[in-house]
Amino acid sequence: MNTSKLRENVFYKEETVSTNNDAMDAEQAAEGSIFLAERQTGGKGSKGRVWQSETGDGIWMSILLFPKLSPEDIPKITLTAGLAVCKAIRKKGFAAEIKWPNDVVISGKKVCGILAEKREKKVAVGIGINVNTEKFDGELKQRATSLYMESGKIFEREELLNSVADEFEELYKILCEKGFSHLRDTYKAMCATVGKKIKVILPIDAYEAEATDITAEGELVILHDGKEERLCSGEVSVRGIYGYV
Ligand code: BTN
């Protein structure tokens, strides 16, 4: 980022449809602006899913970027955001890990999801962190968790948000100036998917494989029927065959 720093411009709303929409629709906002809301009435998850965020117990934020990266490098921004959140949550004492490409998990359950959306030159990096959520119902019960559910403690959301912003700013600078190859080792060390048996889910197919590595481009290396393959984020979903991760 060569304009304003993260957190110099913060736009807060009690309620909004989606902070990603707010970031995209802001006409004059500088790069690095952060859009926050206490509650989202139309929180967007990946693959067209709904992101549960009607309650004021999480961090629902979007960072506005004008990246000068080539189109194929844009997905690396979400990997970088996942890494930033994972580092910030680890600093709070949790054994957080990344489920490739960009979910942050604790004890195999999702605590943070990231959705980056691109419109013309703008990218909104939407980050949702379940902070003080007391419980999840239905199918989310098996897959989702919060910092409160993992520790019994209520967390100061502003402090965690600042920490996420600081981590992201540092890592995004490395991504833009040096490339993902300079983040790869740290990412791999925090990635729970590597070494696991996984299910690769494609739009009309699914198969089992073993995740073996992360490339300098952020792809997941897998062994499938004895052959090595590389998966690009955005194109596939992976699940652990023994659980979510
Ligand atoms: C996922 O499904 O894993 C992605 C979830 C992304 C949620 C965040 S909350 C802030 C931002 N605004 C949205 O509508 N979605 C993202």
Question: Could you report the per-residue pLDDT of 153-184, keeping only the tens digit for each?
Answer: 999 999 999 999 999 999 999 999 999 999 99
Is there an atom of ligand 1 within 6 Å of 114 CB? yes
Is there an atom of ligand 1 within 6 Å of 133 CB? no
Sheet holding 227-231, edge to edge: 227-231, 220-224, 205-214, 197-202, 237-240
CB 53 within 8 Å of CB 59: no
Is there an atom of ligand 1 within 6 Å of 32 CB? no
Centre of ligand 1 from the C-alpha of residue 200, in Å: 22
Is there an atom of ligand 1 within 6 Å of 60 CB? yes
Instruction: Give the pTM.
Output: 0.96
Question: Could you report the per-residue pLDDT of 61-119, keeping only the tens digit for each?
Answer: 999 999 999 988 999 999 999 999 999 999 999 999 999 999 999 999 999 999 999 99
Share of the chain above pLDDT 90, in %: 87
The residues that bridge with 207 in the sheet, in sequence order, are 200
> What φ, ψ does residue 25 adopt, rounded to 5°?
-85, -10
Tell me the C-alpha distance between 150 and 187, whole Å: 23
- Computed over every residue of the chain, the mean pLDDT equals 94
Tell me the C-alpha distance between 179 and 27, whole Å: 29
Residues 177-186, buried b or exposed e (16+ Cβ, 10 A)? eebbeebbee
Tell me the C-alpha distance between 176 and 77, whole Å: 9
Q: Do you find a cis peptide bond into 203, omega within 30 degrees of 0?
A: no
Ligand 1 atom nearest to CA at 40: 14
